[in-house]
Amino acid sequence: MDVKEKLALNRVRNDEESHINIDQEKCRECSLRACLFVCPAALYEKNAETGEITVEFSGCLECGTCLIACPRGALKWRYPGGRFGVQYRYG
Amino acid sequence: MDQVDTIIIGAGLAGLACACRLAEADPEKQVLVLERGDAPGAKNVSGGRLYLEPVRAHAEKTAKLFKGAPFERAVRRETITLLADDAATSIDFLDEKTQVDPPHSVTVLRSKLDAWLGEKATELGAFIVPQSRVIELLKDGQKIIGVKTEAGEEIGAPVVVAADGVLSFMAGEAGLREGFEPKRYAVAAKEILELDSGRIEDRFCLAENEGAARLFAGDITGHGLLGGGFCYTNKDSLSLGIVVGIGGYAELENGPKLPDLFERFKSHPEVKRLTSGAKVIEYAAHVIPEAPQIDESKLVSDGLIVAGDAAGFALNLGITVRGMDFALISGEAAASAVIACREKSDFSRAALREAYVDTIRKSVVEEITKFSRMTEVLSNPRLYTDYPEGAAEVLRALFSVGGEKEALYRTAWPLIRKYFVNWRGFKDWWRMRKV
Ligand SMILES: Cc1cc2nc3c(=O)[nH]c(=O)nc-3n(C[C@H](O)[C@H](O)[C@H](O)COP(=O)(O)OP(=O)(O)OC[C@H]3O[C@@H](n4cnc5c(N)ncnc54)[C@H](O)[C@@H]3O)c2cc1C
Ligand code: SF4
Ligand code: SF4
């Protein structure tokens, strides 16, 4: 089962504003690119044309793994606003 | 600035145990719980098996509240499975002596359990505000004097309890945690799979309402990384997940994607048989504190107590995870410390430290440090590669009949020597002894 299909099962209320901000300057010098594989929701991608790192924040499971794994401190990460984000029905 | 008697940040098990105890002890004192989710539990994830025995021993008042709690199943069958590439070796333990009433351990779903405990706290007189994210601790010099919420409200209190979970930005704000060291955390991904109770009981060989805890070791990641898997039976669903230490994982070049690791685990022949026909109904992820070295001086600050995952109170031994019991115990202990310090009107760091840390030293701090060497041992890649393969090969040789089969001893011994009885095996065994 594809992770996108799994994420579609979750109850989520999306904010318009991203709770994750990426400092592209730092990413350019990053060779590890851990964010591209550690995210349990596979939300990070490298834009093929610009080489920029993007995150599809609306599927975020709010685990914080990307924040912990990023070796260069490129992420400004906070929890989504009170009314937003994933709301687990089972947990 | 509005003033209350105690502010608790986070309505997880630590925050709620604290709220219940405080409200019960003195209904005249206001207990305010701020929770960012829609309701208590909406943001929380565990494996989850809750060990009740330590809670009964060290958080008596909380354990009493748990009468009638929405537990899923009382665990009676324990199975540890070593996964090799296409084989599985299990040790299965069914024990009629396992206590099920009251249970030794139970499976739980946090969304249900936390919501229920939240109602208890409310009945007892605590006030829980959902959808309310704390963004800042208010300080007067070094002293914590209240919180600021995202809505811009500033609320003061003589003491604040940070029970905001593993990422605890609040402990960070108070200077009690510096940054996030990858090797101190593990990432977990988990599916909830719907399966009717009859099939669960048949499939896992359980009597009615009994539960099974299945833990998986072996090469869960395919890269010899520190990690494990779990499958717990709920009433009519399964909790299936993997846990991977972030330290080694994040350093891989072009590492495997976590969702792919999950699918790899799920498609193992053994796991496939457990989950066949079950429908995925939720996908969750969360981080677990790993290899915590608990620094007693970092558990309180002037006007602040840190409890539960926020304080790093968890023990992830790869195949067993404890954290919920520590959350409940430390939550109740935080409340007792607030009560004791209130009597003396002294919420200074020194007073809180004495009242709080002394209470949880044996039940939590020492319990965790005792096993802290364990992660070192568990980081040994051979545990995840050679040993499961070895077990499978030895058993394969023993169970297969036909062909040019030699005597049992001649078949098994070379394999055992290859995988286990050698110098490396001796060193591993020696290290294990020290744990
Ligand atoms: C996959 C997995 C498997 C596990 N398995 C087990 C197991 O089998 N047994 C076991 O005992 N433990 C297990 N654990 C560990 C256990 O889940 C945790 O130790 C436990 O949940 C800690 O409880 P807590 O109350 O400290 O934190 P949490 O449950 O994380 O609660 C923190 C609360 O604070 C809220 N919050 C955070 N920040 C803010 C803010 N700024 N403002 C307002 N609210 C905020 C959150 O929304 C949340 O409700 C597992 C963990 C995981 C991830
Ligand atoms: S790991 Fe951090 S620095 Fe590297 S690409 Fe990802 S976000 Fe950027
Ligand atoms: S917090 Fe977790 S789910 Fe969200 S982007 Fe980071 S790693 Fe992915």
Structure tokens at B343: 């009597």
The three-state secondary structure class of B313 is coil
The three-state secondary structure class of B303 is coil
Q: Give the nearest ligand 1 atom to B10 CA.
A: 34
Architecture of the domain defined by B182-289: 2-Layer Sandwich (3.30)
Residue partners of B26: CB distance under 8 A and separation at least 6 = B339
pLDDT digits (tens, 9 = 90+) for B392-401: 888 887 777 7
Residue B315 is predicted with a pLDDT of 87
Q: Give chain A positions within 8 Å (CB) of B37.
A: 87
Structure tokens at B127: 């006030």
* Domain architecture of chain A: domains with CATH: 22-82 (3.30.70.20)
Residue of B nearest to A32 (CA): B253
Query: B225: closest CA among B269, B171, B261?
Result: B261
Q: Give the Cα separation of B6 and B16 in Å (integer).
A: 13
Residue B76 is predicted with a pLDDT of 94
Residue B384 is predicted with a pLDDT of 75
Q: Give the Cα separation of B49 and B76 in Å (integer).
A: 12
Residue B102 is predicted with a pLDDT of 87
Residue B434 is predicted with a pLDDT of 61
- How is domain B2-71+105-179+293-374 classified at the CATH fold level? FAD/NAD(P)-binding domain (3.50.50)
The three-state secondary structure class of B411 is helix
Q: Say yes or no for a CB contact (<8 Å) between B187 and A40.
A: yes
Q: Are B161 and B15 in contact (CB under 8 A)?
A: yes
Q: Give chain A positions within 8 Å (CB) of B253.
A: 32
Q: Are B299 and B361 in contact (CB under 8 A)?
A: no
- Mutation pick from A14, A19, A63 vs chain B, by most beta carbons of B within 10 Å, is A63
pTM of the model: 0.94
Q: Give chain A positions within 8 Å (CB) of B280.
A: 1, 6, 9
Residue B146 pairs in a beta bridge with B138, B156
Residue B214 pairs in a beta bridge with B79, B231
Selecting from B246, B249, B283 the residue whose C-beta is nearest the C-beta of A10 gives B283
Q: Give the Cα separation of A77 and B395 in Å (integer).
A: 49
**Digits of tens for pLDDT over chain B (435 positions)?**
999 999 999 999 999 999 999 999 999 999 999 999 999 999 999 998 999 999 999 999 999 999 999 999 999 999 999 998 889 999 899 888 887 788 999 999 999 999 999 999 999 999 999 999 999 999 999 999 999 999 999 999 999 999 999 999 999 999 999 899 999 999 999 999 999 999 999 999 999 999 999 999 888 888 888 889 999 999 999 999 999 999 999 999 999 999 999 999 999 999 999 999 999 999 999 999 986 789 999 999 999 999 999 999 998 765 668 999 999 999 999 999 999 999 999 999 999 999 999 999 999 999 888 877 776 677 677 777 788 888 888 888 777 777 666 677 777 788 888 888 787 777 777 777 665
Residue B147 is predicted with a pLDDT of 98
ipTM of the complex: 0.97
pLDDT digits (tens, 9 = 90+) for A27-84: 999 999 999 999 999 999 999 999 999 999 999 999 999 999 999 999 999 999 988 9
Residue B65 is predicted with a pLDDT of 94
Give yes or no for residue A81 CB within 6 A of ligand 3. no
Q: Say yes or no for a CB contact (<8 Å) between A90 and B180.
A: no
Residue partners of B12: CB distance under 8 A and separation at least 6 = B40, B41, B44, B110, B114, B163, B165, B308, B309, B327
Query: A89: closest CA among B85, B84, B410, B237?
Result: B237
Q: Say yes or no for a CB contact (<8 Å) between A90 and B281.
A: yes
Q: Give the Cα separation of B427 and B11 in Å (integer).
A: 45
Give yes or no for residue B327 CB within 6 A of ligand 1. yes
B contact residues 108-137, partner A, Cβ 8 Å cutoff: 109-112, 114, 130-133, 135
B374 CA → ligand 3 middle, Å: 28
Residue B291 is predicted with a pLDDT of 67
Q: Give the Cα separation of B120 and B126 in Å (integer).
A: 9
B contact residues 146-185, partner A, Cβ 8 Å cutoff: 149-151, 166-167, 169, 180, 182, 185
Minimal C-alpha gap between A64 and chain B (Å): 7
Residue B392 is predicted with a pLDDT of 81
A64 CA → ligand 3 middle, Å: 5
Q: Say yes or no for a CB contact (<8 Å) between A69 and B249.
A: yes
B43 CA → ligand 2 middle, Å: 25
- Residue whose Cα lies nearest atom 8 of ligand 2: it is A27
Give yes or no for residue B190 CB within 6 A of ligand 1. yes
Q: Give chain A positions within 8 Å (CB) of B147.
A: none
Q: Give chain B positions within 8 Å (CB) of A74.
A: none
